[in-house]
Structure 1
Amino acid sequence: MTCHYRCDDACAKPVPNTSENTYFGDIVRAGISRRTALKASGVTAAFAGLYAVAGTSPAAASGPTGKPGARSPYVHDFEATAPQPFATDAVVTPEGFTWSPVVRWGDPIVAGAPAFDFDHQSAAAQEKQFGYNCDYVGLVRKGSHDKGLLVVNNEYTNEELMFRGYTGAASLTTEQIKIVMAAHGMSVVEVHKNGREWKARMGSSANRRVTATTPFELVGPAAGSPLLRTKADPTGRRVLGTFGNCAGGTTPWGTVLSGEENFNGYFKVDAAPAGQEDAFKRYGLTGSKGRAWEKVDPRFDGAVEANEPNRFGYIVELDPTDPTSTPRKLTALGRLKHEGATVSIAPDRRVVAVMGDDERFDYMYKFVSKAKYREGDRRHNLTLLEEGDLYVARFTGDGFQDGVSDGTGEWLPLIVGGVSKVAGMSVEQVLVHTRLAADKVGPTKMDRPEDVELNPVNGRVYAALTNNSNRQPSQIDEANPRASNKHGQVIEITATGGDHTTTTFTWKLVLICGDPKDPSTYFDGFDRTQVSPISCPDNLAFDSRGNLWISTDGNALGNADAFFMMPLEGPERGHLQQFHTVPYGAESAGPLIVDDTTVLCSVQHPGEVTGASPDKPVSRFPYDGTGQPRPSVIQVFVDKPGRGHGRD
């Protein structure tokens, strides 16, 4: 199910990136055996046994302090949970913590929406109800510390689990297709804190659904390009809908960014349009069967609207404070399988966004705004992501000279000062066919760069490289050091002088995932015998101390997906510990650490197991009596010391 619905069976198809960009393989292969030998001999065990001296004061410790005490409300004070079998249908939290749902698929969030009724769904209802598979979670405060607007991506749907009697796309009725389209996009829900828990305000005037048919504005240098014009929109500036929304980010001016990721699988494309053959192939569009949406809207048929796919694959900006505002697609940040984007403010007040293209052997990108951030000038700041410079990353290793995967890097220019730096391609072509442009300048092919986040404490950028089982021994490089990489890694990027507008940086793999018994794994120098196993890092977050929190997607160790915490400084640096586990078939996504007391987390696609159906569900999460799995945003927080909680 996951492969079919989320990414159009991408791993079963040829890799879209067939460029001949360098892997730096010769340098790496010379150092691989040396690094493995160093680890096996115990060099990385220098931090063994230091867990007990991390301290007991949450204000002083740099990482977890063991079991939570009676006066500790902090989520970073916990005792690691054990890995759970994949088929465990429970939310398993650390001792002393509990969980509760915040909002679930079908909850009536917009005024006038009916209560959720699994067997009597309608498109009109779903347009006002919380969307389906939830991923990114953002919180924009609303006038008070205990009030806010929760913004959640609704990435894709599982028709097998939504409708009884589903036997394939051909079995869907017109109404069911419209329900599916309405279940995609984004949801905005007003929330308030009641004691320790966050509660959703159903029917609030601030609540909103953004779906596959919501009007969007295309902005930036590519807006109006002939590549973006269609019969329905000859201006190339207005497009309907967003889907495949994965990770995201919250801007300093209070908007939310959302990445359109696996958009290619939504279009029926028998053949690429003339002149765009290479681009359609590079984006995985050629031969796509679509999801039957063309039955209700012909723009999803490539033979009818050849340019419609070019209008997806962008970073979307939504203003949750104005439910009447038109969301925008930001062409200046390029078009790729965007996982998300997080904005930071550089020393000169320009804004920077570092992004990943979630595909095997694809790249990492950076955008630097032309204009500068102005504190309190929201109208001006809303234009900052419309114009600026775009770069793609090249990573160079040092040959494991220090026994660690690290090195230097540079940002290769694609557009600078409004001028294309890619031979033979205009600015519009670079921004619409960004993958083709990047191929020409020689960046490093990465192992599925997904969520990219800025650590607000140390100022460094961290990126989750989820996995790449297709990487061959001849294709390894120091940033992607394993062939048949099933488990992934996390890379740390330090900008030269701490300024992310610069074009050079140093980098290091702070986490190489897998079973800690495997000598190829690495936990930032911490003793591998003292850490939790982890596989397939997906989304990243940070608490106020700068500890790294990681959610996983597709655990290749056979365990249930979970949420982890790893300190990045002090004696606990690299001490990865498992926090909570999500139910059978689910992915742990969209983590957000709120006030260090609550973890907000999306439980995406519970019950997504081949063969499952509404008549034979394998998960009943969130255990609300409906008997069906419902993707939900949950919260995990300290309850009472000495108590552990599952699905009760």
Structure 2
Amino acid sequence: MPPQPGRGRFSLPLLTGGRARVTCRYRCGDQCSHQPPNTSANPYFGDLVQRVIDRRGLFRAGAVVAVSSAVLPGVASAASKQGLDFVPVRPNSEDAVVVPEGFEQGVVIRWGDPILPGAPEFDFDAQTPEAQEQQFGYNNDFCALLPLRDDLRLMVNNHEYTTEEFLFRGYDPENPTEQQVRVAWAAHGLSVVVLETGDAAPKVRLDPLNRRITLNTEFEVRGPAAGSEYLKTPADPSGTRVFGTMNNCSGGVTPWGTILSGEENIHFYFANADSVTDPKAAERLARYGLKGGATERKWERFDSRWDIAQQPNEPNRFGWIIELDPYDPRSTPVKHTALGRFKHEGANIKVLDDGRVAAYMGDDEKFEYLYRFVSDEKMKSGESKHARRHNMSLLDSGTLYVAKLTGDSPATEIDGSGKLPSDGQFDGFGEWIPLAHNGESFVPGFTAEEVYVFARQAADVVGATRMDRPEDVQPHPTTGRVYAALTNNSDRGTDGKAGADEPNPRVTNKHGQVLELTETSPTTFTWNLLLVCGDPNDPATYFGGFDKTQVSPITCPDNLAFDSAGDLWITTDSTEALGANDGLYRVPLEGAERGHVMQFLSVPRGAEACGPVIEDDLVLVSAQHPGELDGASADNPVSHWPDGGDSQPRPSVVAVWKG
């Protein structure tokens, strides 16, 4: 029987880190085993301390934070409601979704399930591109649940990547067939499905609103870099139309009811970066991690756009935030250049007090940055077509910023061990540094188009703070504080790499941390680390000041969400190589319970927990890449979730509700 909250320590060996190599190959090109592409010499944290201490009176006396006073539908004030009541689950390595006692679960949709009228039933051994275009895609990550009518809801999921060794029996990585490649193109992208929610377990309904977005779907390019010379190709000499989206990771729901999704690890889909001889162009490719030779999936054999030697601008057309209107199946999705190009985890919106909107974003790689975009125009209220059309243009025009964080402790107290400084917490001040406003660049030596298309290099120049893999960045719906999951960074403090600083206080950081940021003026903020993750037995951990003997172990925070009580929910991305399966966790943010991490569920072995949706009577979570462990494949599956027996594992959305 798991211990009652606050009544006993969870027992778990000290976590040691490590994701399955097969996942690293197919999701990000094994980027963690390569040198990080950020080789900039931005100031170290300690070099900035005295400069900011001299200014701390300015930060302390900053203007009232410009946060949203609007509450999203279904979100009450933090003090008015109580969240889900549950006994935490224990860390485990079961080939199942494990939920607390008193809760029930059910699979909502699996990879390959039909979502369009007339779609064929899934047949693992006879999958075709035509079938996959009409079925739920592979490796679902972000999940959103939107209102529709009566007992119907609209669910949107993105599909991050394909692991071909798990899609096809007998797969030859050196010689994929064109059929296999085209199935993979169709398995990327997004899915929109209507759910019937009258019963406890939501059910998929074949509906005219259902839709698949794939690598064959046309996108409109909008914003200040649309039509740029850096985006033009033989197939699109205008630089304003792109086919497809890929490696979509997290996302967000806008206040006007559209979906934002982030194109993340786009670098390893393109072959032959070493064919580029122009030094400046080669430097730009290297800064985004593009390398020479053939790709993992060999797509370049079947379409020249994946070959940089033939189409050198094609990589620049990926790595953006996309926006999709899920209520209009005929609409053309958009790639927003005003939000900058990098390895986007996602984007989430806060409405500022003056009516403008801010989008918060993380660049998910070691030593990369946190970004913010603030619109020029104000959001219009109401549900009229005119208001919605206006709001869907808000991300076309505004200012792009990058974050610089500084601590308030002496540099000598940040020794890389994770030991708290003498003031009792990792905290400090920061500023949003402007990069560009539409056609105006604020970065020396960069045009505005270069800032947007090569945002990483622009951020290098202005001295942004190198973070430990910024993933999901979420503004709180009532307090306006912003939370960022910093997943890990095993290279922190190693030879030639940036050392520990106060927002990234541990060298060889295997477990990550959660950053809490409070904006004090339009361009300044204070910050602190809410969590320094890992096994609570490890002295190099911190849980918001809460008693560490009472918390669930947590490592590698990834996606974030909030419930109606104002608590933070976190999914993790670590795999059972850490000693336990990934899971979903709740963390109160206020009062005596602040920092009390409690594990709500765990996903099957080899899977990653993603895209949580938290409602008072329903929780959705994506179980991505179940069974994806080294040595496993479609010919040798080690997981049979969710169908059991001798079935192949299938990424799926799971619903959990009170029994």
Q: TM-score, normalised by structure 2?
A: 0.87
Residue number among 438, 441, 444 corresponding to 2:465 in the alignment:
444
Per-residue deviation at 1:147?
2.0
CA contact (8 A) 2:110 2:136 kept: yes
Aligned to 2:475: 454
Q: Which amino acid aligns with 1:322?
A: D
Say if 2:9 is the partner of 1:5. Answer: no
Per-residue deviation at 1:632?
0.4
Secondary structure in 1 matching 2:197: strand
CA contact (8 A) 1:63 1:76 kept: no
Aligned to 2:112: 106
Paired residues for 1:354-365 under 5 Å: 354-365=360-371
> Quick one: distance in 1 between partners of 2:309 and 2:242?
18
Say if 2:145 is the partner of 1:118. Answer: no
Aligned to 1:280: 285
Aligned to 2:512: 488
Aligned to 2:302: 296
Say if 2:152 is the partner of 1:147. Answer: yes
Q: Which amino acid aligns with 2:305?
A: R
Per-residue deviation at 1:610?
1.2
> Quick one: distance in 2 between partners of 1:458 and 1:368?
18
How many aligned residue pairs are there?
Answer: 591
Say if 2:570 is the partner of 1:547. Answer: no
Per-residue deviation at 1:28?
8.7
Q: Which amino acid aligns with 1:384?
A: L
Per-residue deviation at 1:626?
6.8
Per-residue deviation at 1:406?
0.4
Q: Deviations over 1:382-421 (max 9, x none)?
A: 1000110000000000113521000100001101364100
Secondary structure in 2 matching 1:171: coil
Paired residues for 1:501-516 under 5 Å: 502-516=522-536
Say if 2:341 is the partner of 1:335. Answer: yes
> Quick one: distance in 2 between partners of 1:599 and 1:489?
24
Q: Deviations over 1:75-119 (max 9, x none)?
A: 62000111113xx21111111112101111000101121000111
CA separation of 1:75 and 1:120: change in aligned 2, threshold 3 A:
farther
Aligned to 1:51: none
Say if 2:193 is the partner of 1:189. Answer: yes
Aligned to 1:598: 618
Aligned to 1:47: none
Aligned to 1:163: 168
> Quick one: distance in 1 between partners of 2:293 and 2:449?
25
> Quick one: distance in 1 between partners of 2:30 and 2:545?
36
Per-residue deviation at 1:324?
0.7
> Quick one: distance in 2 between partners of 1:167 and 1:604?
23
Moved over 4 A (4+): 26-29, 59-64
Aligned to 1:44: none
> Quick one: distance in 2 between partners of 1:592 and 1:17?
33
Paired residues for 1:594-633 under 5 Å: 594=615, 596-623=616-643, 627-633=647-653
Say if 2:633 is the partner of 1:634. Answer: no
Q: Deviations over 1:506-562 (max 9, x none)?
A: 001000000101111000000001101111000000001110100000156321111
Secondary structure in 2 matching 1:2: helix
CA contact (8 A) 1:63 1:572 kept: no
Residue number among 353, 357, 374 corresponding to 2:359 in the alignment:
353
> Quick one: distance in 2 between partners of 1:233 and 1:490?
41
Per-residue deviation at 1:27?
8.0
Residue number among 427, 445, 450 corresponding to 1:406 in the alignment:
427
Q: TM-score, normalised by structure 1?
A: 0.89
CA contact (8 A) 1:457 1:544 kept: no
Q: Which runs of 5+ in 2 are unaligned?
A: 1-21, 51-75, 410-420
Secondary structure in 1 matching 2:429: strand
Q: Which amino acid aligns with 2:112?
A: G
CA contact (8 A) 1:515 1:557 kept: no
> Quick one: distance in 1 between partners of 2:634 and 2:77?
50
> Quick one: distance in 1 between partners of 2:350 and 2:78?
26
Per-residue deviation at 1:166?
1.2
Paired residues for 1:213-612 under 5 Å: 213-271=216-274, 272=276, 274=278, 275-287=280-292, 289-290=294-295, 291-376=297-382, 377-399=387-409, 400-416=421-437, 418-472=439-493, 475-496=499-520, 502-555=522-575, 557-594=578-615, 596-612=616-632
Per-residue deviation at 1:23?
2.3
> Quick one: distance in 1 between partners of 2:152 and 2:613?
15
CA contact (8 A) 1:264 1:288 kept: no
Per-residue deviation at 1:623?
1.9
Q: Which amino acid aligns with 1:176?
A: Q
> Quick one: distance in 2 between partners of 1:135 and 1:82?
24
CA contact (8 A) 2:105 2:201 kept: no
Q: Deviations over 1:548-587 (max 9, x none)?
A: 1000001563211111101001211111011100001000
CA contact (8 A) 1:222 1:431 kept: yes
The percent of aligned pairs where both chains have the same amino acid is 57
> Quick one: distance in 1 between partners of 2:198 and 2:83?
18
Aligned to 2:97: 91
Q: Deviations over 1:231-264 (max 9, x none)?
A: 1110000010000000000011111000000011
Secondary structure in 2 matching 1:463: strand
CA contact (8 A) 1:332 1:431 kept: yes
Q: Deviations over 1:278-317 (max 9, x none)?
A: 1100000132632211122110011110000000000000
Aligned to 1:646: none
Per-residue deviation at 1:265?
1.0
Per-residue deviation at 1:62?
6.7
> Quick one: distance in 1 between partners of 2:351 and 2:518?
15
CA separation of 1:256 and 1:167: change in aligned 2, threshold 3 A:
same
CA contact (8 A) 1:514 1:557 kept: no
Q: Which amino acid aligns with 2:339?
A: L
> Quick one: distance in 2 between partners of 1:153 and 1:211?
10
Q: Deviations over 1:139-171 (max 9, x none)?
A: 221134x32211101000111111010131x33
Paired residues for 1:34-49 under 5 Å: none
Per-residue deviation at 1:353?
0.5
Q: Deviations over 1:313-337 (max 9, x none)?
A: 0000000001111100000000000
Q: Which amino acid aligns with 2:337?
A: T
CA separation of 1:26 and 1:84: change in aligned 2, threshold 3 A:
farther
Secondary structure in 2 matching 1:262: coil
Q: Which moved more, 1:20-29 or 1:224-233?
A: 20-29
Q: Which amino acid aligns with 2:493?
A: Q
Alignment RMSD: 1.9
> Quick one: distance in 1 between partners of 2:649 and 2:634?
9
CA contact (8 A) 1:365 1:392 kept: yes
CA contact (8 A) 2:153 2:195 kept: yes
Secondary structure in 1 matching 2:245: coil
Aligned to 1:129: 135
Q: Which runs of 5+ in 1 are unaligned?
A: 30-58, 65-73, 640-648
> Quick one: distance in 1 between partners of 2:49 and 2:442?
30
Q: Which amino acid aligns with 2:247?
A: G
CA contact (8 A) 2:83 2:567 kept: no
Aligned to 2:12: none
Secondary structure in 2 matching 1:142: strand
Secondary structure in 1 matching 2:592: coil
CA separation of 1:10 and 1:61: change in aligned 2, threshold 3 A:
closer
CA contact (8 A) 1:208 1:323 kept: yes
Say if 2:94 is the partner of 1:82. Answer: no
